[in-house]
Amino acid sequence: STELPPEPLSPQGFLNDGATLEISPTQIETYLAAARRALDVAIVTGDAPTPHVYTATKTATGNLPNKSEGGQLPANPEFLLDVPQYARTGSFRLEVTARAVIPEGSDFPRMRVSLGHVPGIIHVPRKTVAEVEFTSDQTQTFVFHGRMEDYPQAGEVRFENLTFHGMIVMLDFLNAEGEELRYPDRSYVQLPPKPKKKGEKPKPKPAPVAFGKRLDIAVEKVAFTSPWLAAWPPESHRILLENDAPAEAETARARRHLGRFLPRAFRRPVTPAEIAQYLKLFDQLRPQADSFEAALREVFAAVLVSPHFLYIVETRDPQSTAPQPLTDDELANRLSYFLWSSMPDETLLGLAERKQLHQPAILQREVLRMLQDGRSHEFVSHFAEQWFDLGALDRVAVNPEFYPKFDNDLKDDMRHETVAFFDEILRADRSCLELIDSDWTVVNRALAKHYGIEPPPRSFQFQKVVLKPELQRGGLLGQGSFLLSQSNGETSHPIKRAVWILDRLLGTPPLPPPPAVPALDSQGAELAGLSLKDQLELHRKEETCRNCHEDIDPWGFPLENFDAIGLWRQTAPVRVRTQGGGPRPKPITLDPRAQLPDGTLLNNAAALKAYLLEKRKDAFAHSIVERLMGYSLGRSLDFGDRDAVDALTQAFMAQNFRLRPLIVDLVASPSFQTK
C-alpha cells in the first residue's frame, strides 16, 4: 500500500533482507483488508449478475467528416464511448477493432486505451488500461480485461450537446514518441459556431484531409461489457471450492477445502493440528456469517495473514548453531522466491513432495526451466532495480529552467532501458562485462532520439539497437538511468557518479562523509566562474575532505561530458558575476581527465570503461557474486560466506562472466541449500 512506510534497505541496497523486514500492526490490518477484498472476488454466492454491453461501430459517426472511413481520430485526438450503466465492481471486457494508415517512412502510431469519467471540461480522471501499437495497415482487434474497482467512477455529467453518464471509454491516438496526433480539420462533433466579435475576421477553414495520406487511425468498433463473466461461478471459485458438495455437513466441507488451501498458502505440508485450528475458527464464525461461503472467506483471510504465509519459514534444530540442510519444501520456496518472487508452482511442489529436488541434475533442470519461464522477469526487474538503484530516478527533480524540453516520461524509458538491457544479458547468455561496455542497448523511439541514435526505431516498443562508438552509450555508464539518477537535476554530479561506480560495480563503497561538513557554495564569490571539477579541487584542500575525495572524485570526472539528463556535451555553463553584481551563465570547455588513486591517467569515459574491463574486472565479478548471493538468500553476507563467494567468483570468470551458469552454480552451492 502507498500509505505504508517504505521497506528498509539492506547494506547491499536490497528490499528482501529478512533482518530488516518487520511487520507492524498497521501492515497486518492492510494485508487483512487486501485478503478480504481478494476473497470477495474469488468466492461468490448467488446468481450470475446481468452484464451491461455498450457498442459503437463505424456506422455511428454522427457529424464526423469522411463517414465511410469509420471513427477517424478527431481534432482533439480521443474516441469516447459513453457507458450509461455498468457494474461498479467486478471484471470488464473491452474490445477495440481499428486499423491504421502508415505512410512509408513514418513511425508507428499507437493507441492508448483508458477508462475514467468527466467531472468537468478541463480535467478527466482516467486510468490507462493498455497501450497498443499498429505496425501494419491490417484491421486488428484488441481485447482487454480488468477490474472496475481499479478505475475512477462518477455520476452523470452534461455539457453543450453531449451527455456522459460518468464512465467513459477513451481512445487516445499517439505517435511513437507519445505525441498526440492532432488534425484540426476533423472533429467528432461539429459544435455550433461561436458568435463573432465586432470587426473580427472569420478564421479560414482547414483544408480537408485526404484519408490515407498521413499517419492515421480509424476505429471500426468499440465494445464494453461490465461485468464480464467468462463463466459462473468464476474459475477462482471453482479452484478454491473444488468438488464442493452443498448437501454435505458444513464442517466436513470446510475441512476438505482447508486441507487443500493450507498447504498451498503455507507452501509445505500441514499437520492435522493446523487444519483443526482453522476449522475451529470456522465453527466460531459460522453462526454470525450469512452463508457458508462468507464464513470460509473469513477463515481463508486469517490464513493469508498468518506468519506461515507472510514469511518464508525455515525451521531449525534449536540444539545446533551449525548450518543445517534445507528440506525439499524449503528449497522449493527459496528457489521460487529467488527467481520468481512468488510461491512454487505445481512442478516444484511435486518434486519437493517426492524428495527429488536436491538431486543435482533435477535441480539444474528446474533452475533453467524457471529462468525460461516468464515469471523470471520478476527476478530481472527486482534485482536490476535494486542493484542499480533505479529508484534514485524518482528522487531527482529535473530543473525545467535548465532543461525546458525534458519530458519526465523519459525517466520511465530510462528505467526500462536498464532493466531490458540486463534482461537481454541474461536471456541471450551474454557476458556481464557488457554491463561496463557494449556496442548495443535497448531503447524505444523517444529514448533513441534523446540519445541522438540515428535512425531512431519506428516503434514506441523497446528494441535492441547497435550503437556507434562516437555516441559513448555502451554499458550502464552511458545510460540515462545512471547519468540522471546520479546528478542533481541541474548539472552533473561527479561525486555521486563516482560513489555509484565504487559501490554498485566494484563493491567497495566509500565511507559516508563526516558530520557537519558544509556543502559547496557554487554561488559564492570564491567559486564563481569555476568548473565543477575546479570547485572540487578547492574542496579537496580542506583537511577533513582531502583523503576521501582524492579516492572518490577521479572516478566521476571522466563522465563529465554527460550532463544531468545524460546528454553528451563539450561545454558546461558556469555562473560569473557581472559588473552590476548579478550572476550570468558562461560556457566553459569541460576537462574530463582524471588520475585514479593507483596513478592511472584517464582522458574520458571510454578510457574509464577500458580501465574497468582491463584492471578491475575481478572486483566487478566479486561484487556481482556478492550481490546475487545476498539477494538470493534474503540476508546480508557474513564472514562464513567468504569461501563460497570466492569459489563462485572464480567459476563465474571462467565461464566468461555469464549470469545463467552463475545462477545454476549458486543454487547448487552449500550456502543456498543450508539455513
pLDDT tens figures, 243-297? 899 999 999 999 999 999 999 999 999 999 999 999 999 999 999 999 999 999 9
Q: Is 639 helix (H, G, I), strand (E, B) or coil?
A: helix
Q: Are 164 and 125 in contact (CB under 8 A)?
A: no
List pLDDT tens digits, range 332-355: 999 999 999 999 999 999 999 999
R_g over Cα of the chain: 30
Confidence label for 416 from pLDDT (cuts 50, 70 and 90): very high
CA angle 29, 33, 36 (to 5 degrees): 140
Q: Which residue has the higher pLDDT, 580 or 149?
A: 149
List pLDDT tens digits, range 643-669: 999 999 999 999 999 999 999 999 999
Residue 89 C-alpha cell reads as 465492481
Confidence label for 613 from pLDDT (cuts 50, 70 and 90): very high
pLDDT at position 188 is 37
Confidence label for 184 from pLDDT (cuts 50, 70 and 90): very low
The percentage of the chain sitting over the pLDDT mark of 70, rounded to a whole number, equals: 81
Average pLDDT, integer, range 443-451: 95
CA angle 227, 375, 634 (to 5 degrees): 120
Is 185's pLDDT higher than 50?
Answer: no
- Count of all residues that appear for the chain in the document: 675
Q: How far is CA 186 from CA 66, 76, 170, 535, in A?
A: 9, 9, 17, 57
pLDDT at position 624 is 98
- The Cα–Cα gap between 32 and 280 comes to 19
Domain 52-191+212-226: assigned CATH number: 2.60.120
Is 542's pLDDT higher than 90?
Answer: no
List pLDDT tens digits, range 37-64: 999 999 999 999 999 999 987 644 333 4
pLDDT at position 65 is 39
- The Cα–Cα gap between 397 and 487 comes to 10
The percentage of the chain sitting over the pLDDT mark of 90, rounded to a whole number, equals: 64
List pLDDT tens digits, range 196-254: 666 666 666 555 545 556 787 888 899 999 999 989 999 999 999 998 999 999 999 99
pLDDT at position 216 is 79
pLDDT at position 667 is 99
Beta-carbon neighbour count of residue 428 at 10 Å? 11
Q: Indicate the average pLDDT of the chain.
A: 86
439-443, 550-554, 564-568: which has the minimum mean pLDDT?
550-554
- C-alpha dihedral sign at 267, 272, 274, 276: positive
- The Cα–Cα gap between 447 and 354 comes to 50
Average pLDDT, integer, range 573-588: 67
Q: Is 124 helix (H, G, I), strand (E, B) or coil?
A: coil
Q: Is 288 helix (H, G, I), strand (E, B) or coil?
A: helix
Q: Is 568 helix (H, G, I), strand (E, B) or coil?
A: strand
- The Cα–Cα gap between 590 and 494 comes to 13
Average pLDDT, integer, range 499-503: 98
Q: Which residue has the higher pLDDT, 321 or 309?
A: 309
Residue 263 C-alpha cell reads as 498447504
Q: Are 112 and 409 in contact (CB under 8 A)?
A: no
Q: Are 494 and 536 in contact (CB under 8 A)?
A: yes
- Residue 530, beta-bridge partner list: none
pLDDT at position 76 is 42
pLDDT at position 70 is 37
- The Cα–Cα gap between 395 and 384 comes to 17
pLDDT at position 80 is 77
Nearest to 55 by CA among 74, 80, 73, 81: 81
Is 479's pLDDT higher than 50?
Answer: yes
pLDDT at position 103 is 84
Whether residue 455 has a cis bond before it, omega within 30° of 0: yes
Please provide residue 96's backbone torsions phi and psi, each rounded to the nearest 5 degrees.
-130, 125
384-393, 406-415, 448-457, 578-587: which has the minimum mean pLDDT?
578-587
Confidence label for 123 from pLDDT (cuts 50, 70 and 90): low
pTM recorded for the entire structure: 0.86
For the purposes of burial, counting CB atoms within 10 Å of the CB of 487, is it exposed (0-12), middle (13-18) or buried (19 or more)?
A: buried
Which residue stretches of 388-508 are H helix?
409-427, 445-451, 480-485, 494-500
Q: Which residue has the higher pLDDT, 285 or 526?
A: 285
